[in-house]
Structure 1
Amino acid sequence: MVRGKGKNTAVGYVRVSTDDQADSGLSLSHQETRIRAYCEAHGLELIAVVSDEGVSAGKPFADRRGGAEVLGMIAAGTVHHVVALKLDRVFRDAGNALAQSSAWDKAGIGLHLIDMGGQSINTRSAMGRMFFVMSAGFAEMERGLIRERTAAAMRVKRERGEVISRPTLGFDAVDGKLVRNDGEAALIARIYDMHKGGASYNAISKQLTQEGVRTKRGGSWHATTIRKLVLRAA
């Protein structure tokens, strides 16, 4: 709830993608705890913590539900500081980070990143702004290097005819090659026939779970998984 419009008012922003949710170091609760502690230590009045759950960093900040809410609070003059745990919680790349932070800087909005290589950054100070620009550039360079190394490794694997990802249901990886798994192929055929017979995705997932049938990774069945298999088999 908004309590005031002083120059020290802040909004915290937390985000997790689907993969991040299993990482306790990036969980929503962990991010919020760090943000609250930071604001208390730096005299910021935290009036809200806005979250985006299951949202990729590739989605522009303004297009996220939580991101749009933060921008609305800034436009209304409700807050003057945005606090997040890490750079990649807010921005999709260095260019996006620099453009958005520059706009906020002109509007008198401070961006606080609690953990930038073990140090906190506040763009309201000249030194903080300089370190932010440098850190964003180095982060982008590192992502680029990782992409290049990954692409090179995948290219070599393809040239060797090796499996480059986990085999899907119906296949196994044997000596680096994909080999048909007849038992799993039969399961896919059964799922397809059940759906053609009128069973919903949800009903099929419940039936398999009740029978004790596990997914390839040993987990439980979900309607979305059944849908993918049916579409693949069609």
Structure 2
Amino acid sequence: MLTKKHTENSKRKERAVAYVRVSSKKQAEEGVSVPAQIDKCKAYAIFRELGLAVDDIFIDDGVSAATHLWSRPAGRRMREVIYEQRVGHIIVLKMDRLFRDVQDCLSTVDELAGIGVDIHILDQNGGTLDTSTSMGRFFLTIIASLAELERGQISERTKIAMKYLKDNARVFTGPVFGWDRVDAENLRPNWLEQDKIDYMRHRHYVQKWSGNKIAKHLNDMGVKGKMGGAWSSSSVLRTCRYHFHENRNMFTAPLWWGKEPYHDSVSW
């Protein structure tokens, strides 16, 4: 229901809503904090003579762009306001505050255009962009496509970097059972834990034990996980199937390695 404030405001100006989002503390520290976004949206509304009430600023704090706009808490409320009340504009600082990918962008823009709502993006390569014109919608489509391409390239580069780290026994994640950190960058096999890994693999692949049976057996023997926790079927099977452990062949095994029948009994 429209409030008196909104009704009086709409007589003078077209009503707008603003959407603000940060997904992490790092983003907040890099100049896209919630207050910074709000200030810029308010300034733009004044410049364009759009009515932007405080109640019409929707904030998703700590929400990832991977979640569709209408599925986010504040995004859902904003959609209800847009559909139920007289709103003609959405103001947002950057395109990535709203959309997760190009398909998300295009479908949402088309949906909003169908009910007469324009999107205003304030910081797009140093300029503003809105969908009130066909040219604006065209550029938004191109920019969204380029942004998705960039994300894809970043993902590919990340995968290549991760593969390099794994292939060279470099630190690539948190603690891994079977491995110890030498320093901030390098890993080396923990041969006592590697012994347990081969024991698990022998039981599973040679003796056909289930993950549950192996986990119960390890827990009964007092064998702990890397962080001191108990074993479960999923953690046993994940360890057995983790090909990264094959990189231990890059290192010289201790003299006692190979004395147990299960050592290297199953190839990777």
**TM-score, scaled to structure 1:** 0.71
Instruction: Say yes or no: does 1:9 pair with 2:18.
Output: no
C-alpha spacing 1:63/1:149, structure 2 compared with 1 (3 Å): same
Alignment partner, residue 58 of structure 2: 50
Matches of 2:151 and 2:102, distance apart in 1: 10
C-alpha spacing 1:176/1:66, structure 2 compared with 1 (3 Å): same
Is the deviation greater in 42-51 or in 18-27? 18-27
SS at match of 1:3: helix
Alignment partner, residue 79 of structure 1: 87
The offset of 1:33, in angstroms, is: 0.4
C-alpha spacing 1:176/1:63, structure 2 compared with 1 (3 Å): same
SS at match of 1:149: helix
Is the deviation greater in 104-113 or in 1-10? 1-10
C-alpha spacing 1:108/1:18, structure 2 compared with 1 (3 Å): same
SS at match of 1:23: helix
Instruction: Say yes or no: does 1:155 pair with 2:146.
Output: no
Please list the CA deviations of residues 140-175 of structure 1 after superposition, one character each: whole Å capped at 9, or x if unmatched.
11111111111111112211111113669x964527
Contact in 1 for aligned 2:171/2:184 (Cα 8 Å) = no
Matches of 2:94 and 2:114, distance apart in 1: 22
Please list the CA deviations of residues 117-162 of structure 1 after superposition, one character each: whole Å capped at 9, or x if unmatched.
1111110111211111111111111111111111111112211111
Contact in 2 for aligned 1:62/1:68 (Cα 8 Å) = yes
Matches of 2:143 and 2:123, distance apart in 1: 11
The offset of 1:116, in angstroms, is: 1.2
Matches of 1:103 and 1:138, distance apart in 2: 21
Contact in 2 for aligned 1:163/1:173 (Cα 8 Å) = no
Alignment partner, residue 37 of structure 2: 31
Please list the CA deviations of residues 161-205 of structure 1 after superposition, one character each: whole Å capped at 9, or x if unmatched.
11113669x96452732379xxxxxxxxxxxxxxxxxxxxxxxxx
Matches of 2:76 and 2:130, distance apart in 1: 22
Which has the larger Rg? Answer: 2
Matches of 1:53 and 1:173, distance apart in 2: 38
Alignment partner, residue 229 of structure 2: 233
Instruction: Say yes or no: does 1:123 pair with 2:126.
Output: no
Unaligned stretches of 5+ in structure 2? 190-226, 231-268
Alignment partner, residue 174 of structure 1: 183
Please list the CA deviations of residues 91-121 of structure 1 after superposition, one character each: whole Å capped at 9, or x if unmatched.
1111101110111112110001101111111
Instruction: Letter of the 2:50 partner, please give it.
Output: L
The offset of 1:18, in angstroms, is: 2.5
Contact in 2 for aligned 1:83/1:113 (Cα 8 Å) = yes
**TM-score, scaled to structure 2:** 0.63
C-alpha spacing 1:133/1:9, structure 2 compared with 1 (3 Å): same
SS at match of 1:233: coil
Alignment partner, residue 99 of structure 1: 107
Q: Identity, % of aligned pairs?
A: 33
Instruction: Letter of the 2:52 partner, please give it.
Output: L
Instruction: Say yes or no: does 1:66 pair with 2:74.
Output: yes
Instruction: Letter of the 1:156 partner, please give it.
Output: Y
SS at match of 1:176: coil
Please list the CA deviations of residues 209-228 of structure 1 after superposition, one character each: whole Å capped at 9, or x if unmatched.
xxxxxxxxxxxxxxxxxxxx
Unaligned stretches of 5+ in structure 1? 181-230
C-alpha spacing 1:22/1:129, structure 2 compared with 1 (3 Å): closer
Contact in 2 for aligned 1:167/1:173 (Cα 8 Å) = no
Contact in 1 for aligned 2:171/2:181 (Cα 8 Å) = no
Contact in 2 for aligned 1:20/1:26 (Cα 8 Å) = no
